[in-house]
Amino acid sequence: MAIGIPPRYTGELNLDELNLSPEQFLVVASEAVMQLGWDIGWLNASGMVAYAPISISSWSEEVKIIREGGSVKIKSECLGKQIVDFGKNRRNIVRFIDVFTAIKEASQAEELEQKYLALQQRFPEVLNGQPLTEKEKFDNIFSFFTPTEGYFITPVLINFNIIVFMLMALCGAGIFEHNADSLIWWGANLRPFTMAGEWWRLLTNYFLHIGLLQLIMNMYALLYIGALMEPYLGRTRFLSAYLLSGLAGSITSLYWHDAAVSVGASSAIFGLYGVFLIMMTTDLIEKSARKALFSSIVFFVVFNLLMGLRGGVDNASHIGGLMGGLVIGCACFPGLFKPYVLNFKLGNNWFSKGQSS
């Protein structure tokens, strides 16, 4: 059972021991993937990226099968927001190796060479959208909080939220649950104060959190969606989407509640999920990955809205943020089709993916 953000498991095959050429390996690997019922999302002479179907224990996994010299690296990684994979990634690797070995033993060299010529024709067809490789940046816990190219605004927002929470705790607001007076003093959204001219509360409230648990849950959700979205939107559009979605949630909460103390980044995060739902109507993301991600995103939204029906949760800000994100996503939609080039790495090889409207 793998635990991580996201959970993953790796394996390896030795081509020399298998007595396979790189071309023969690719044929056998592609047939093994198809026999397992996985969708091939990306394919070239170096290997492939496939997506396992959704199951009870997982929201689908991304499986990379990449040739590096005389060996083949295989990695299965969860796409959803789960932290524990219940052994699904390991089973993916074991099943692939078993099926790969069986197909290899039943195949003739001449037959594999002929099949490779046919497989070559699929390379341009399958390369449709960028594989989800930004999560490769997370090789240790510090990488979650370190700004890098393609993942800059997300850690800045996470760090800022954590710093504000720590300052509140050091000033006596508490750790596991801040009291209402402290939240109001630090900038919570509360109609009598906000409508009295303190409009800055519409912005400051979604950088505050009522306690440690809310902070952890929101920052994990922000980490997940930020790693997926920011490379596509860029720094300016991603930050704008976050701030405007949070503002939409704050205004909705202000309209809906007469005297509720509203705090938390969840309205802005719901907005980012709304933008991402619109993004999945484009071909920026590989279509097999879109299918796998859609269930995870919808589950997050529906589950949290249902949880928001409990008392003490500002569901109005969640709905306002989500609706704001959908609108912002539609506004960004034309810009997503402007010419761009995305660079991504599979194994030791770098590739570029360009597109124009």
Buried b (16+ CB within 10 A) or exposed e, 123-134: eeebbebbbbbb
Structure tokens at 206: 């979604």
Q: Give the type of residue at 167.
A: L
Q: State the DSSP string of 19-54.
A: T--HHHHHHHHHHHHHHHTPEEEEEETTEEEEEPPP
pLDDT of the residue at 348: 47
- The helix (run of H) or strand (run of E) holding residue 64 is strand 61-68
332 CB-near residues (< 8 Å, 6+ apart): 233, 237, 241, 275, 278
pLDDT of the residue at 139: 67
pLDDT of the residue at 191: 92
d(CA 333, CA 277): 11
Q: Give the type of residue at 281.
A: T
pLDDT of the residue at 129: 44
Q: What angle do CA 53, 234, 215 make, to 5 degrees?
A: 70
pLDDT of the residue at 83: 78
d(CA 27, CA 224): 34
d(CA 48, CA 126): 10
Show the domains of the chain with their CATH numbers: 8-127 (3.30.310.80), 137-352 (1.20.1540.10)
Question: Quick one: the chain helix, strand, coil %, rounded to 5?
Answer: 55, 15, 25
pLDDT of the residue at 85: 82
Looking up tokens 């994979």 gives 85
d(CA 315, CA 313): 6
Instruction: Identify the segments of the chain with pLDDT beneath 70.
Output: 1-4, 56-59, 122-139, 311, 333-357
